[in-house]
Amino acid sequence: MHEVSLLESALELARAEATRQGARRIHRLTLRIGAMAGVVPEALSFAFEVVTQGTLAEGATLEVIDVPLQCVCELCAHAFSPPVYPCECPRCGHPRARVAQGRELELASLEVS
Amino acid sequence: MCTKCGCSTGSTAQQQASGAAVAHHDAHPHHEHPHHHHEADERRVLEVHQSLLAKNEHQAWHNRERFQQKKIRVFNVLSSPGAGKTALLERTLADLGGTQRIGVIVGDLATDNDARRLRRPGVQVVQVSTGTVCHLEAAMVARACEQLDLNALDLLFIENVGNLVCPAAYDLGEEQRVVLLSVTEGEDKPLKYPTIFHNADVVLISKSDLASAVEFARATALANIHRMAPRARILEVSARTGAGLTAWYDLLTPRAVHV
Ligand SMILES: Nc1nc2c(ncn2[C@@H]2O[C@H](COP(=O)(O)OP(=O)(O)O)[C@@H](O)[C@H]2O)c(=O)[nH]1
Ligand SMILES: [Mg+2]
Ligand SMILES: [Zn+2]
């Protein structure tokens, strides 16, 4: 599962930031995950407990903010949010749209003490 | 260590993006403990906003830089298990091995079967056992490259772990991302795995010799691939019969002549 690798990266970033800010415990990690990031949120929460065990984030809450897909038409520049990729422009019907948002895989914030 | 991008270790991502601490006051109004504004156990929120893939992307950037310096064309080959990655590479090695200096990095969960199938005189093969990790990462490729003589390579293929989900997020530093879809897999697969198809530079419809036996809906498949991967080159190939491979070889070595 690459969810484990992703959470290990998240924890590495979190630990570095918490240490730099003089925090001793991490109570919450907030991730932003795009609809097209290829990540299953349920698999994340399952892996989270395993990955945080024995770390300064043990017992912490994982919060996932879903970032919806947003496309911009390459022809008419219309911006729209289709439920799934591919993005066909609802205004002009052009089949090619740039993915403007929805690929995010990001550690947004931490709650620490 | 890294002079190109200024990083200190060659592995840690840029971390200046981290924000300042923001005190989280709603649970404890100020006036209750005015002399201990920042108690040790006071909860606060730290804004971070860093990509979980930043470290991999940084390493991929270094890999790509190195491959370009050495003038090696690198192809990250992806598909479901059994779509024909190893068979395609075996055939490619047999057909181009005489004129091109080729290396292969093979990612596999546990076995070295694929590496053994690919090993032959004059070809550099490195096996990477990923264990429980279901994809290759840029750092694994960098380590594998230490076992290769990069000065003696024109082409490098990276056979990724058979999986259409996890490898999609990990840039390895390749020049082109090649996704195989075999005719036996079903025409709707591109719709089910948008991320991997969206990022493909080349989509190979493999095992084309079996198309009629499995009543492959060619037009539907082409339309679906084109919708999901509008910029990708689409080629139909058979590693068994050799059909369509000329176009594949032209893509690998555009300056060479294969008519
Ligand atoms: N008929 C036919 N079979 C193929 C072709 N390419 C691969 N295969 C078979 O498909 C199976 C899986 O192929 P392999 O190369 O191991 O797939 P990989 O898991 O993607 O590396 C093997 O039994 C191959 O012999 C092809 O072009 N035509
Ligand atoms: Mg294989
Ligand atoms: Zn439009």
Q: pLDDT tens across B11-42, in order?
A: 333 333 333 333 333 444 444 444 444 555 78
Q: Are B78 and B146 found together in one domain?
A: yes
Count A/B contacts: CB-CB distance under 8 Å: 103
Q: Are B50 and B77 found together in one domain?
A: no
Name the residue among A1, A16, A106 with its Cβ closest to that of B52: A106
Ligand nearest to the CA of B79: 1
Pocket test for ligand 1, best of B158, B182, B216, B241 (most atoms within 8 A of CB): B182
Confidence of residue B238 (pLDDT cuts 50, 70, 90): very high
| Domains observed in chain A | 2-112 (3.30.2320.80)
Evaluate the CA torsion angle A75, A78, A82, A85 in order and state its sign: positive
Q: Are B40 and B81 found together in one domain?
A: no
Confidence of residue B3 (pLDDT cuts 50, 70, 90): low
* CB contacts, 8 Å: B132 with chain A: 4
| Among protein residues, the one whose CA lies closest to atom 23 of ligand 1 | B82
Q: Is B65 a domain residue?
A: no
Within an 8 Å CB–CB cutoff, is residue B40 touching chain A? Answer: yes
| Among protein residues, the one whose CA lies closest to atom 4 of ligand 1 | B207
Q: At what angle do helices A2-20 and B54-69 cross, to 10 degrees?
A: 110
Q: Residue B156 in contact with residue B64, Cβ under 8 Å? A: no
The pairing of beta strand B21-23 with beta strand B44-51: antiparallel
Q: Is B105 a domain residue?
A: yes
Q: What average pLDDT does range A5-21 have in this prediction? A: 95
Domain with residue B234: its CATH number is 3.40.50.300
Q: Is B40 a domain residue?
A: yes
Q: pLDDT tens across B155-185, in order?
A: 999 999 999 998 999 999 999 999 999 999 9
Q: Which of A104, A111, A100, A90 is nearest to B42 (CA)?
A: A111
CB contact under 8 A, B168 and A95: no
CB contact under 8 A, B137 and A5: yes
Report the 10 Å Cβ neighbour count for B201: 17
The CA distance from A102 to the nearest CA of chain B, in Å, is 10
Please state, in angstroms and rounded to a whole number, the distance separating the CA atoms of residues A99 and A87.
Answer: 8
Please state, in angstroms and rounded to a whole number, the distance separating the CA atoms of residues B46 and B19.
Answer: 7
Please state, in angstroms and rounded to a whole number, the distance separating the CA atoms of residues B210 and B182.
Answer: 9
Q: Are B44 and B89 found together in one domain?
A: no
The string of DSSP codes covering chain A is: -HHHHHHHHHHHHHHHHHHHTT---EEEEEEEEETTS---HHHHHHHHHHHHTTSTTTTPEEEEEEE--EEEETTT--EE--SSSS---TTT--S-EEEEES--EEEEEEEE-
Find the residues whose C-beta lies inside 6 A of ligand 1: B 79, 81-87, 162, 206-207, 209-210, 238-240
Q: Which stretch of DSSP H or E encloses residue B158?
A: strand B155-159
Q: Are B121 and B45 found together in one domain?
A: no
Q: Is B62 a domain residue?
A: no
pLDDT at B8: 52
| Cβ contacts of A68 within 8 Å, gap of 6 or more | A35, A81, A101, A102
Name the residue among B50, B168, B198 with its Cβ closest to that of A85: B198
Within an 8 Å CB–CB cutoff, is residue B25 touching chain A? Answer: no
How much is the mean pLDDT over chain B? Answer: 86
The answer on pLDDT for B52 being more than 70 is: yes
pLDDT at B15: 35
Ligand nearest to the CA of A71: 3
Instruction: Report the separation in Å between the CA atom of A95 and the middle of ligand 1, taken as the mean of its atom positions.
Output: 33
Q: Are B51 and B101 found together in one domain?
A: no
Q: Which domain holds residue B79?
A: 71-252
ipTM for this model: 0.89
| Among protein residues, the one whose CA lies closest to atom 26 of ligand 1 | B207
Q: Is B217 a domain residue?
A: yes
Domain count, chain B: 2
Q: pLDDT tens across A60-110, in order?
A: 999 999 999 999 998 999 999 988 777 789 999 887 788 899 999 999 999
Q: Find where tokens 């139909």 sit.
A: B236
CB contact under 8 A, A112 and B165: no
Q: Are B131 and B209 found together in one domain?
A: yes
Within an 8 Å CB–CB cutoff, is residue A61 touching chain B? Answer: no
Q: Are B133 and B77 found together in one domain?
A: yes
Q: Are B42 and B85 found together in one domain?
A: no
